[in-house]
Structure 1
């Protein structure tokens, strides 16, 4: 517990100022987290981090995370979609040269990894460029839902939510976490006028959707770990696991915020 608390404090000391500053410092941190997230999945798959498929994956996740405005300044390319297509093609082409140790299923998994991690962190950075209140809205929903689910689950949880994927989660905890988030987050933001462009009912609807999405993101990452037989995605955060362990919900919540029109 002591290690967990120390790691959390140090991470917040680094993370919060960069979140407030935004711009290039936050983009560099976001790219670093994306690269580490991809490396965690590569390690789960027992892939060397200096292999051709790893290098393609790293370049791909960086290309997707970079803001759209960056690509508009690059001659001939103009979009990360073109870069991603080229890299996906190279990933599949790699199966020809190292067929005995890298097949089409491996290529598909890493292409999906680039999308899953890259898009999640792309919209995380975009949320901050829209405004600190916007990114904090998504993050608070995730944190409060997670804390509420833990407390309610421990108190009254009996019915398993997904026993084969995450045996400690219960339906009572899941519903309770969302209820706590729905009560706290819209009320807090409405009273403090942190997102004045939205009515209370809109914030309420957003919170319900994002709270559910965050829990699904958690289950997705739990499914990865269960499939690959690991307890944590990594160990870069002592006491907390890896980057994917800490940002699994955000990788789903932030893209959904864009779909809901919150990111412009």
Structure 2
């Protein structure tokens, strides 16, 4: 809310107040702005005026009200700058994160190995294992166990986790490399060897084709002979399997659609 200056009133009530004399008042402003009441009566003048108006009567209430009104009109203070909101302290993170989908079970097993000689904590780990997997209750219980570890136990736990070797990546099968085609399409075009779906078929789905010589289905990854000229000259699809295109097969062209 708004802030206002203050004023201290030191009042002495002489004998005969209020019938024959008024109170003796000393006013001491507190925190008034430098330009307060510019062009208006000062606070001291307001006090003197209130005492004159109340001559012969009880003047204290009227005096206090006059001072309060003057402070409200002329003693408003500028707003204090807001103190910056302190940032919450960062939580100390655990060396092991129990928020991943598969770490809880691994962490329980690692803790059981680490705490093999502590029957009480191993009993608690068995209880944690029985909680709903990945539940908030299980994660909270595991965090409590982590915080109970000594520095040596934590170091041993983190070390055992980092020592585990990642699974080696499975080697990719090498691409099939076909020999040059030994047959031609019915129009006499030379066939081109591919080890994947030919670029002409980039808009087609599927990884299989039908050999237009023997009629058998094949997979592009095992190689295919394709006539690029037929496709360019009218969208004709002509393909041959490795056996037929390499000269080891034969048969009447069938020209089936690709799948």
The answer, yes or no, to whether TM exceeds 0.5 is: no
More helix by share: 1
TM-score, normalised by the number of residues in structure 2: 0.16
